[in-house]
Amino acid sequence: MKKIDEYQGKKVLVMGFGISGINAAHLLVKLGANVTANDKATPKNNDIVDDLEADGIKVITGDNPISLANEGFDVVVKNPGIPYDNPLVAAFVKQGTPIITEAELGWEIFDGHLVSVTGSNGKTTTTTLTQLMIAENAKHQVKYAGNIGISFSKIAEDLGPDDTLVTELSSFQLLGAPTIHPHIAIITNIFSNHLDYHKTRENYINAKLNITRNQTKNDFLVINWDRDEWQKIAQRSQATIVPFSRLNKSHEGSYVEDGMIYWRGQEVMPAKDIRLIGPQNVENALAAIAAAKLSGVTNDAIKKVLTTFSGVRHRLQYVMEYRERLFYNDSKSTDIEATEVALQGFDRPVILLAGGLDRGYTFERLVPYFKKHVKAMIVFGECKDKMKDAGNQAGVSVIESEDAITAVPEAWKLSEPGDVILLSPANASWDQFPSFEVRGDKFIEAVEELTGKKEQ
């Protein structure tokens, strides 16, 4: 951990009691700040409040009182999910009070080698693969943190100048990380996500590009080269561009040619040997390979990781095989693009479990994928009628169910040996579950109850 004095004697407000917020509050006390912690909700677990107060932190819960804007805070550390049109946040913006996220705080105290990953899809898998690859050859600590569910600042506290940290960073986090400066930045892809938060696609792209804002030609931006738009986006960076591509050969980076993965013209391994299924995971592997090779990782270490790693939970996660049916949990597919990619990963008939929060859009884009890959559909949630319409357009058998749990036995009744039963909702979970993680866990529990087996 780097010793800094920027917060000594400063008055800091931490908004949000998530993992990152709680860790940030305690860290700020260590850095000499006078800390107030605020959450709009009242925590069900009193231990959270007790621990904060025991550290000398003033705690305010149950509201975001606008009066806090008049208390002279020097800095606000905001939970990334709190929008900037929140009345209290907006008041601080109007005042010109610096508003950062915990990722910025983590960067300020970090004293090692930083690799950062962002993108619309594939962030967590790419982050995990990159960390595992670098760790295979490392003589020092290699950790991961960030939007992957682990506090950046908490991990940064325990790392030294020779250590490496691979961070997953969301667009929300990057909006509040003005000085973050990874030596290697990765952009997996950019679709049109979170427009309810960012308002426009250009705002969303600009937030993602904050990952490379402070990079120089001595740093590297690893970026997907499979779309013209992404190639043009790369031109907005001052870093050395390192492309990765499943579709376009480029000797400046990692790519696939005739089924073989290459790094700058040198063979690495056959693409078919990657244990993770689907074209999206070839792309994730290519991004991780580029970052790993830039970090001095050997081909043997890369092969070991890619031939053994079976996936991140809820991200096209293999659950089990039972009576010649394969079960996959892709609850993280909360948008159309992610489900498109998931379906392309299978060469077997798929029984698709899909639906969730109605965000106002329809699913015609999925019709070609349903026609090619899907044998039957079980739909649920607020948007089940819209999802059913798309299935009917594709000529696919569709039945309705209550949710992702009750859909499991319904899918089993429709299945035959050789089929894949896939939860890939194409929608957020919030109409029926508090998070995609809970939805995925409940799906796995339903599969275990059906089969009498534990996930593999």
Is 12 a residue whose pLDDT tops 80? Answer: yes
DSSP 42: P
Query: Domain check: are 89 and 186 in the same one?
Result: no
Q: Residue 7: which of 45, 37, 34 has the closest Cα? A: 34
Do 49 and 133 share a structural domain? Answer: no
Q: Whole-angstrom Cα distance, residue 317 to residue 421?
A: 12
pLDDT (mean) for 301-305: 98
Same domain for 88 and 114? no
Average pLDDT over residues 381-408: 97
- Other beta carbons within 10 Å of 71: 10
- Does residue 169 share a domain with residue 304? yes
Considering the domain architecture, whether residues 385 and 435 belong to the same structural domain is answered as yes
Same domain flag for 291 and 160:
yes
| 271 belongs to a structural domain | yes
Q: How many CB atoms lie within 10 A of CB 417?
A: 7
Q: Is residue 4 part of a domain?
A: no
Q: Which of residues 75, 100, 125 is at a domain's end?
A: 100
Q: Which helix (H) or strand (E) holds 142?
A: strand 142-146
Does the reported pTM lie above 0.95?
no
pLDDT per residue as tens digits for the range 352-363: 999 999 989 899
Q: What residues are paired with 353 via a beta bridge?
A: 378, 423
- pLDDT category at 44 given cuts 50, 70, 90 is confident
**Which residues are CB-contacts of 341 (< 8 A; sequence separation ≥ 6)?**
121, 278, 279, 280, 333
118, 42: one domain: no
Q: Let me know whether 281 and 329 are in one domain.
A: no
Residue 90 domain-assigned (yes or no): yes
pLDDT of 148 above 90: no
Q: Which pLDDT belongs to residue 218?
A: 98
Report the CATH number at residue 24: 3.40.50.720
Q: What's the pLDDT at 250?
A: 82
Q: Is residue 1 part of a domain?
A: no
The total of other beta-carbon atoms located within 10 Å of residue 218's CB is 9
- Say what percent of the chain tops pLDDT 70: 100
Give a yes or no: residue 2 inside a domain: no
The pLDDT, as a whole number, for residue 373 is: 96
The pLDDT of residue 348 is above 90:
yes
Which candidate, 238, 245, 134, places its Cα nearest to that of 189?
245
Lowest mean pLDDT among 14-23, 74-83, 313-322: 313-322
Are 293 and 324 contained in the same domain?
Answer: no
Give the rounded distance of the alpha carbon of 19 from its chain centre.
16
- Whether residue 229 sits in one domain with residue 118: yes
Tell me: do 268 and 388 sit in the same domain.
no
Do 156 and 110 form a contact (C-beta atoms < 8 A)? yes
What angle do helix axes 299-308 and 279-294 make, rounded to 10 degrees? 150
Q: Please check whether residue 412 lies inside any domain of the structure.
A: yes
Q: Based on the structure, what is the number of domains in the chain?
A: 3
Range of the domain at 223: 107-308
The CATH number of residue 344's host domain is 3.90.190.20
Residue 3 located in a structural domain: no
Binning pLDDT at 50, 70 and 90, where does residue 11 land? very high
pLDDT value for 313: 85
* Weakest mean pLDDT among 171-180, 226-235, 306-315, 397-406: 306-315
As a whole number, the mean pLDDT across the chain is 95
Backbone angles phi, psi at 423, to 5 degrees: -90, 110
pLDDT of residue 82: 95
Which range is least confidently modeled, 22-31, 42-51, 107-116, 388-397?
A: 42-51
- CA-nearest of 245, 251, 213 to 227 is 245
Structure tokens at 252: 């400046």
Closest-CA residue to 112 (of 176, 170, 24, 182): 182
Residue 168 and residue 19 share a domain: no
Give the integer Cα–Cα distance in Å for 166 and 136. Answer: 14
Average pLDDT over residues 285-306: 98
In this prediction, residue 251 has a pLDDT band, given cuts at 50, 70 and 90, of: confident
Q: In what order do the strands lie in the sheet with 184-187?
A: 142-146, 164-168, 113-118, 184-187, 220-224, 240-245, 254-257, 260-263, 266-270
Question: Which of 246, 281, 308 corresponds to the end of one domain?
Answer: 308
User: pLDDT class for 447, splitting at 50, 70, 90?
Assistant: very high
The residue among 100, 127, 152 that closes a domain is 100
pLDDT one-digit tens code per residue, 181-213: 999 999 999 987 777 888 899 999 999 999 999
Tell me, what's the pLDDT at 241?
Answer: 98
